Chain A
Amino acid sequence: MHDVAAHAAHHAPPTSFIRKHVFSLDHKVIGKQYYALALVAAVCGMILSWMMRIHLGWTNAAIPGLQWLSSTGAPGGVMTPEYYLQLMTMHGTIMVFFVLTTAPFAAFGNFFLPIQVGAEDMPFPRINMSSFWVTFVAFLVLMSSFFVGDGPTLGGWTQYAPLNAVGSGAGPGQGLGVVLWMTSIALFCVGQLLGSLNFITTTLDLRVKGMSLMRLPLSAWAWFITSCMGLTAFAVLMPACILAILDHVAGTSFFVPSGLVVSDQLVPHSGGSTLLWQHLFWFFGHPEVYIAIVPGIGIVSHILITSMRKPMLSQRVLIYCMGALAVLSYMVYGHHMFVSGMNPFSSLAFSFPTLVITIPATITVLIWVFSLYGSKLRITSASLFALGFVSMFVSGGVSGFFLAQPSIDIMLHATYFVVGHFHMVMGVAAMFGIFAGTYFWFPKMAGRMMDETLGKIHFWLSFAGTYCIFMPFHYLGMVGNVRRYSTFTDDYLQPLIPVHKLITIAALITGAAQLVFVYNLIHSRFWGKPAPDNPWEATSLEWSTASPPPFDNFGGQHPVVYHDPYQYGVQSSVGDYVMQASPEQVKTEHDEK
C-alpha cells in the first residue's frame, strides 16, 4: 500500500520557472501560494475593517483615498451608508473564505500534511494545483466587484434571500455584485472540494511505513477532519450559489416567493422559499466555523506539545473531541435561525446539540490547560500565540453558551454580542492559530528564522488589542446594539458611540501591529538567520528533513516511523525527545498504544 501510494504521488521536478513557481505541482509551493493569497486577502480585509471602524466612530470623517475606490460610494472620502454595507460584506467574505479557510487549512495543510505523513506529495498533484488556481480566480472575481457596476453586494457574508435574488432594485450591488459574489463563492467551493479530496486521500493512502493513524500528529488529524467537513459543507454551498445565480440570470425562483414588491414594482418571481437559502447556507456556515478553527486546534496542540516538552494528557481524547466537534457542527446549524421564522420546536431541537457541543470544546480546553501542569514550558513567539489561542478560544467559547439558547437569543440575536463571539472564537483565535503556525513552521517553509523580538512585540499588541476590541462588543450587544448599522441613529444607541470610538482606536493600533508581522515575515524571508533542520527540537516528520525540504521532501528516502508523534520527556541521544523517524529505542511513559 505504502509503496504504491508513494509511486502515485511521485512526479518529476520542474525545470521551467513557470512550472516551478507559478503552475507548480509541488504541494509545498501550492501551500506557500495559498499562504500568500491568504496574506494578501488578510491585508485587504483588515484595511476594510479599519475603514468601517473609522466610519462607525466618526460617521462624517473623510477617509483619505477612499473616493478613489468609489467616487459614488465615498464622495470626498466620506462613506455612504450603502458603501459601508458593501465594504462590510467584502470584509466578512474575504476574511471567512479567503483567510480563515485558506491559511490554516489549505496553506499549512498543503505544505505540511504530506510531509507529516511521510509522502513525497499529494496523490493528485494536478488536482491540487487546480485547487489553488480556482481559489485564486475566485478571489479575483470577488475583488472585481469593487470595480464593476455599482460595486460589491451589500447583503453581508451570509447573503440572505431574497435580498440576494431580487436584483438591483433592492440596493447597490444587488445585481451584478451578487452574481459576482455567488460566482466567486461557487468557485471557491470547487477549489476547496478539490483540496479536501487530496487531503483525505493523502491521509488515508500515503502514510509511510509505521505511520498508523494514531501516530499522526494532531495537526495532521485536524487537517484530515477539516477536509472531511469541507467535502460535505462546500458541496452544499456550491449548488446553493448556483441556484441563486439562476434566480438572477435565468428567471428561476428558488429563493423568491410570490407577491414581493420592491421599489413599488411587483417582483416577477413566485414559488420560492427564502428560508431554504438560510438552511442551505447555515448547513455550510456552521461547519465552516469549525473548518476555520479545527486546524487551529490541531496546530496549537502540535505547537504546545513541543513547547511544553511533554505530550498532551491524551492525544486520543483530543482527536475524538475534534471529531465530535465536526460531527456536531452539522447538527447545530439551526441556532443561527432561532428567530428566522422556522418552526419554534426546531429551535429547541437545534439548541440541545449546540449546548452539547460545549462538552467536547470544554474537554479540549481542559486537556490543553491541565497538560501545562508539570510541563517545561518554553516561551517563544509561537508558544505565546498558541497560549493566546487558548485564552481567546475560552473567551469566545463561553459567549457561545448564551447564543445556544433560543430564549436568550431573542435578546442577543443580530447584536454586537454575536459579532464579538464569532470574532473571538473563529476570527481572532483562528488568526492566533495562523500566527502560531507561521512562527513555528516558517523556518521549515523558508529555511530562515523569524525575528523573535518582533514576534513578541506582535503578540503583545495583538493579544491586548484584540481583547480591547472584541470584549466590549459583548457588552454593546447586551445593551441591544444592533450589528450591520452604518450609523447609529436610534436614541438608545447614542450613548454607545463613545465606546465605538474607543474600539476604533484599539482596532487601528491592533491593525498597525500586524504590519510588524508582515515586516518580520518579508524581512526574515530574505535576511533572516538560516534555520537549522530542527530548531524547536521537535519530533514529527517535518523536522526530520532539511529546512526547506527538498523537492521530494525527504531527499529520495522514504522515512520509517518508529514512534508516536510526541515522544518528549525521554532520555535520548539528541536530548529530551526522540523523533518519529528515529529507530532509537527509548523508555517512555507516554506511549498510548
Chain B
Amino acid sequence: MAKFFAVTIIVIAILSAIPILRHTWDAPEDISTHGHLIDEQMSETMAEAGIAFLAAQFLLAIFIWKYSNPGPNAKLKNFPGGATGLVIAAFLVVGIEVLALGIFGVKAWADVYLTPPSANAMPIQVQAGQFAFYFRYPGPDGTFGALHPELINESTQNYYGLDLDHDPDAKDDIVTAEMAIPVNKEIHLLMHAKDVGHSFYVRELRVQQDFVPGLDLSLHFTATKIGKYEIVCTQLCGLGHYNMKAYLEVMSQQDFDDWLKKEAALQ
C-alpha cells in the first residue's frame, strides 16, 4: 500500500510536469514591447517552482516508500542536522529566491505600471459597461468631450453620455465598438467604468487591468504585430460577463488612418 502510494505520487508529479516541459499550455505569442519581461519572469518562476514541486513530491514519496511498515527491529532515526539545518536551508534558498524574483519582477511590473506614457502616446478611451466595451478616439481636435452620466442612453447610442449639442470637444469624438490601433505606436488607454467593475484583458498584449467605478485609470502599451486579438472582461460583472468581449485590431498606420476616417464618417 505505502509503496504503491509512493509510486502514485511520483507518477502524478511527472505527469504534472510533462505539459510544462513540452510547452503544451503556454500563453500565446507576445505582441507587446514589455511582454518579454513578464514571460521571462514567468519562465524563471516556473523553473524554480517546478524544481521545488518535483523535489518535495519525490522526497515525500521516497520517505514513504522507505520508512513505512518497517520490521520489528527497525530503529527510529532523526534526519542528520535536525530542524536547524532545514530552517537555515529554507531561509537561504527560499530567501535568495524570493529576493531574486522580487527584485527582477519589479522591472516587468514597472514597465507597465510605474512608468508614465510618453508624450506622443496616442490616447484612446475605453468605457466598460454591462456587457460591452466602447472605445472613444478624440477626433481631429485631440480633446475628449466631457462625460455626462445622466445623458447615457443606449437606445440613442449615446454610450458615453456626450453632450453633442453643447460641447464642442465632444462633436468630433469617434465612438466605436471595436478597438483599432496602429502597430508600433504607444497607446495611452484611459479606462472608465460605466456601472460596475470590469476588466480589460488581452493575453497577447500581456495586459490586464480592472475598471474601477468612480476611479478613472490608465494603461499604456505598444503592440508590435499586426493582427486581430480578443479583448475580454475578467472581472465578474453580471449575467453577461462570459460574453463581454471586443476585438483589438492592430493595423499599419495607413490602414489605421483609413479606418478612423471611415468610423468618423459613421458618427
The total of chain B residues at the interface (CB under 8 A) is 102
Contact: B237 with A377, CB < 8 Å? no
Which residues of chain A from 383 to 400 have any CB-CB distance to chain B below 8 Å in the complex? 384, 387, 390-391, 394-395, 398-399
Which residues of chain A from 134 to 149 have any CB-CB distance to chain B below 8 Å in the complex? none
Selected from A475, A478, A484, the residue in CB contact (under 8 A) with B241 is A484
Cβ-closest chain A residue relative to B195: A262
User: Residue B259 at the A interface, CB < 8 A?
Assistant: no
User: Residue A155 at the B interface, CB < 8 A?
Assistant: yes
Expressed in whole angstroms, the Cα–Cα distance for A492 and B229 within the complex equals: 9
The contact string, 1 if C-beta is below 8 Å from chain B, for chain A 310-352, is 1011100100000000000000000000011100110110011
Contact: A155 with B236, CB < 8 Å? yes
Which residues of chain B from 72 to 91 have any CB-CB distance to chain A below 8 Å in the complex? 74-79, 82-83, 86-87, 89-91
Cβ-closest chain A residue relative to B200: A339
| Chain A residue contacts of B213, Cβ below 8 A | 162, 256-257, 260, 274
User: Residue A5 at the B interface, CB < 8 A?
Assistant: no
Selected from A260, A344, A413, the residue in CB contact (under 8 A) with B234 is A413
Which residues of chain B from 109 to 166 have any CB-CB distance to chain A below 8 Å in the complex? 109, 112-114, 129-130, 147, 149-150, 152-155, 161
Selected from A162, A345, A363, the residue in CB contact (under 8 A) with B87 is A363
Contact: B194 with A260, CB < 8 Å? yes
The contact string, 1 if C-beta is below 8 Å from chain B, for chain A 469-485, is 00100011011101111
Q: Which of A103-111, A182-190, A202-210, A402-410 lines the interface with chain B?
A: A402-410
Contact: A257 with B49, CB < 8 Å? no
| Distance to closest chain B CB from A390 (angstroms) | 6
Contact: A170 with B195, CB < 8 Å? yes
Question: Beyond A274-B214, A317-B87, is A369–B235 a contact (Cβ under 8 Å)?
Answer: no
| Chain A residue contacts of B233, Cβ below 8 A | 482
Contact: B89 with A366, CB < 8 Å? yes
Selected from B64, B77, B207, the residue in CB contact (under 8 A) with A387 is B64
Selected from A163, A355, A488, the residue in CB contact (under 8 A) with B102 is A355
User: Residue B226 at the A interface, CB < 8 A?
Assistant: no
Question: Beyond A366-B90, A372-B64, is A384–B83 a contact (Cβ under 8 Å)?
Answer: no
Cβ-closest chain A residue relative to B37: A407
User: Residue B95 at the A interface, CB < 8 A?
Assistant: yes
| Distance to closest chain A CB from B241 (angstroms) | 6
| Chain A residue contacts of B53, Cβ below 8 A | 394-395, 398
| Distance to closest chain A CB from B244 (angstroms) | 10
Contact: A379 with B150, CB < 8 Å? no
| Distance to closest chain A CB from B134 (angstroms) | 13
User: Residue A160 at the B interface, CB < 8 A?
Assistant: yes
Selected from B42, B76, B94, B130, the residue in CB contact (under 8 A) with A402 is B42
| Chain A residue contacts of B217, Cβ below 8 A | 341
Interface-centre pick from A308, A369, A379 (highest chain B CB count, 10 A): A369
Contact: A313 with B67, CB < 8 Å? no
Expressed in whole angstroms, the Cα–Cα distance for A356 and B102 within the complex equals: 10
| Chain B residue contacts of A258, Cβ below 8 A | 214
Expressed in whole angstroms, the Cα–Cα distance for A345 and B211 within the complex equals: 18
Expressed in whole angstroms, the Cα–Cα distance for A172 and B130 within the complex equals: 13
Question: Beyond A261-B149, A317-B87, A370-B86, is A379–B1 a contact (Cβ under 8 Å)?
Answer: yes
Contact: B76 with A85, CB < 8 Å? no
Interface-centre pick from B41, B60, B78 (highest chain A CB count, 10 A): B78
What is A's interface to B at a CB cutoff of 8 Å? 80-82, 85, 154-156, 160-163, 166, 170-172, 174, 256-264, 266-267, 272-275, 308-310, 312-314, 317, 339-341, 344-345, 347-348, 351-352, 355-356, 358-359, 362-363, 365-367, 369-379, 384, 387, 390-391, 394-395, 398-399, 401-402, 405-408, 410-411, 413-415, 456, 463-464, 467, 471, 475-476, 478-480, 482-492, 568-569
* CB pairs A–B below 8 angstroms (7 shown): A266-B149, A308-B67, A374-B76, A377-B70, A405-B101, A408-B105, A482-B232
What is B's interface to A at a CB cutoff of 8 Å? 1-2, 5, 8-9, 12, 16, 19, 24-28, 37-38, 41-42, 45-46, 48-50, 52-53, 56-57, 59-60, 63-64, 67-70, 74-79, 82-83, 86-87, 89-91, 94-95, 98, 101-102, 105-106, 108-109, 112-114, 129-130, 147, 149-150, 152-155, 161, 193-197, 199, 201, 203, 206-215, 217, 230, 232-243, 245
> Considering the complex of A and B, which 6 residue pairs feature the smallest CB-CB distances, nearest first?
A257-B214, A374-B77, A407-B108, A82-B239, A314-B83, A344-B113
Known: A378-B68, A387-B60. 11 other contacts (CB 8 A): A162-B197, A262-B130, A274-B213, A359-B98, A362-B90, A362-B94, A379-B1, A379-B2, A387-B5, A486-B242, A491-B230
